[in-house]
Chains A and B, each alone.
Chain A
Amino acid sequence: MKPSRWLPHPLLSICLLVVWLLLINGFSLGHLLLGALLGWLIPLVTQVFWINPPRIRKPIKLCLFLLHVIWDILLANLQVARLILGPSSRLRPAFVEIPVQLEDELALTMLASVISLTPGTVSADLSDDRKTLLVHTLDVADEEQLVRDIKARYEAPLLEVFACSAT
């Protein structure tokens, strides 16, 4: 779907419709129409506030990536639970700087959020030039390995999905 003047954010409209139907927790023609109206009206009214959304080149890839992330979140929960219950003297906390190639704001936000939700890492800060992400880790043996893992597991798929130029 191409964005146009009267439908500036088609994807956002669909999301709003789905969220509306979930909120109502039911399905009927009336609510479908009302949800569609809201999904059309809200992006139209608020469009001056929106930053330019990136083009999503590979929607299927994005869905796969999100499923992969949800699975990682489950594993992260178990791992962090184990670390918390174990003796805290064995933990090896560290600050790690991760160079990022993503340039788009939404893609960067997604990367930072995913890092915060997955195994033993919380993104703490983004450098002023938006080239480095500061990450705090709860227990890490090898910083280099962690940087490589994060870049391969989370940044590479996002780069592909949003088709940013890898500089």
Chain B
Amino acid sequence: MNEWIEGIVALFLLLGSLFALVGALGLYRLPDFFMRLHGPTKATTLGVGGMVIASMIYFGARDQGLSLHELLITLFLFITAPVSAHMLAKAALQQKLRLHEKTRGRPWEQ
């Protein structure tokens, strides 16, 4: 395989890993539960996206054809990530988890 393609694949893999790392850091660093939700729901989308693009380029170049089934990973991730975040947030509201003291606005009672 051409060095250029290998370089591009490596670049996308690094970029993807970097964003996955940032998402994990967010989960670790942010002060309260609701803020922690933001890291994994967003930063990881680009993390997975970078790896998916790397995979598409790699297998596309190796097999001399178009490799598109990686797109399904993105599709399923876009469908499932908001749902799991929503369920986690609902559970946290139910449990009345401690909020960071600077949080403005209060969740309602139902």
Counting CB contacts under 8 A, is B96 at the interface? no
In order of increasing CB-CB distance, the 5 nearest A-B pairs are: A116-B82, A95-B105, A124-B89, A113-B82, A84-B26
A92 CA / B35 CA spacing, docked (Å):
10
Q: Which residues of chain B are near A122, meaning CB under 8 Å?
A: 34, 37-38, 41, 85-86, 89
Q: Which residues of chain A are near B89, meaning CB under 8 Å?
A: 122-125, 136
Determine how close the nearest CB of chain A comes to the CB of B74; give it in whole angstroms.
9
A132 CA / B8 CA spacing, docked (Å):
45
Classify the secondary structure of A's interface with B. Answer: helix
Counting CB contacts under 8 A, is B46 at the interface? yes
Counting CB contacts under 8 A, is A22 at the interface? yes
Asked whether B72 lies within 8 Å of A23 as measured between CB atoms, the reply is yes
21 contacts between A and B (CB under 8 A): A73-B45, A80-B38, A80-B42, A83-B38, A84-B25, A85-B22, A91-B30, A91-B35, A92-B104, A93-B35, A93-B100, A94-B103, A95-B104, A95-B106, A113-B78, A114-B82, A127-B108, A127-B110, A134-B93, A136-B34, A143-B105
Q: Which residues of chain A are near B68, meaning CB under 8 Å?
A: 22, 25
* Number of CB contacts from chain A to chain B under 8 A: 130
Point out which of A78, A81, A88, A123 has the most chain B C-beta atoms below 10 A from its C-beta.
A81
A143 CA / B23 CA spacing, docked (Å):
25
